[in-house]
């Protein structure tokens, strides 16, 4: 399973999950994500097809049904924060719950109790193409007609910003808004 570990999850837990065969990306080791907002972490997890693992309850609101970004999230709340306890809890959860369910649900673990809330109306039984990493948007080439109009790249994700209105442009991945100095 592909996981994005927030900075509250220990490096020892990340190493243990890697040894178990999981693809783990850590916020603490990534210079772009280390200073990123919680919204950017949610969007990054969704874009890369990863389940976000954190100990902050703010992620429950960010992936609610009203949000357009809904990666799977595992929240380790009100439990033992020590690395060995985090490892045991996560390994047990990853063994017992199917990958497709974790990728489309908000999972809240409090002590020895896990509650799973689906984020989509009809969760798939298996990992499908929709749950795989989203392809990066290609930058326009000089041969494409889109290259003729001025375009910028998002400083967070590198996506081509789309025109919004007037001289404003917005990133389709993170919502970064750019406008000219006249605004």
Domain presence at residue 59: yes
Residues 87, 162 within the same domain: no
Closest by Cα among 95, 98, 123, 90 to 10: 90
Instruction: Please tell me the distance from the alpha carbon of residue 96 to that of residue 92, in angstroms, as a whole number.
Output: 6
145 and 67 assigned to the same domain: no
Tokens 């709340």 found at: 77
How many domains does the structure of the chain reveal? Answer: 2
Indicate the pTM of the whole model.
Answer: 0.66
Residues 169, 149 share a domain:
yes
pLDDT of residue 84: 87
Same domain, 98 and 15: yes
Per-residue pLDDT of the chain (183 residues), as tens digits, is 899 999 989 899 999 999 999 999 999 988 888 888 888 888 888 888 899 999 888 888 878 755 565 788 999 987 777 888 888 889 999 999 988 888 888 899 987 788 898 887 665 566 555 445 554 444 434 444 444 444 566 666 566 766 766 667 776 666 666 666 454
Looking at the structure, do residues 99 and 80 belong to the same domain, yes or no?
yes
User: Domain check: are 150 and 120 in the same one?
Assistant: no
Instruction: Looking at the structure, tell me whether residues 25 and 80 fall in a common domain.
Output: yes
Instruction: Tell me, yes or no, whether 136 lies in a domain.
Output: no
Give the structural domain span for 151: 141-183
Kindly state whether residue 173 falls inside one of the protein's structural domains: yes
Same domain, 165 and 89: no
Helices (H) and strands (E) in the chain, counts: 6, 9
**Ramachandran assignment for 166, one of left (phi > 0), alpha (psi -120 to 50 degrees), beta (any other):** left
Chain centroid to CA 156: 14
Residue 48 shares a structural domain with residue 7: yes
Q: Parallel, antiparallel, or unpaired: how do β-strands 169-170 and 162-163 relate?
A: antiparallel
Is residue 20 situated within a structural domain?
yes
**Residues 108, 167: one domain?**
no
Instruction: Copy the structure tokens of residue 164.
Output: 């919004």
């Amino acid at each position: 399973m592909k996981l994005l570990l927030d900075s509250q999850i220990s490096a020892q837990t990340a190493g243990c999950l890697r040894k178990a065969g999981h693809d783990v990306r850590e916020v603490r080791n990534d210079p772009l994500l280390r200073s990123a907002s919680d919204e950017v972490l949610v969007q990054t997890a969704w874009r890369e097809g990863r389940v976000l693992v954190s100990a902050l309850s703010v992620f429950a609101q960010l992936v609610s049904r009203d949000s357009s970004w809904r990666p799977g999230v595992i929240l380790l709340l009100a439990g033992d924060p020590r690395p060995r306890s985090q490892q045991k809890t996560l390994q047990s959860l990853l063994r017992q719950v199917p990958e497709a369910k974790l990728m489309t649900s908000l999972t809240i673990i409090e002590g020895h109790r896990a509650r799973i809330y689906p984020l989509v109306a009809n969760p798939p039984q298996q990992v499908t193409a929709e749950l795989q990493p989203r392809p990066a948007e290609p930058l326009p080439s000089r041969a494409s007609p889109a290259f003729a109009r001025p375009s910028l790249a998002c400083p967070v994700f590198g996506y081509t910003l789309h025109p919004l209105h007037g001289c404003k442009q917005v990133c389709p991945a993170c919502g970064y808004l750019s406008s000219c100095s006249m605004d």
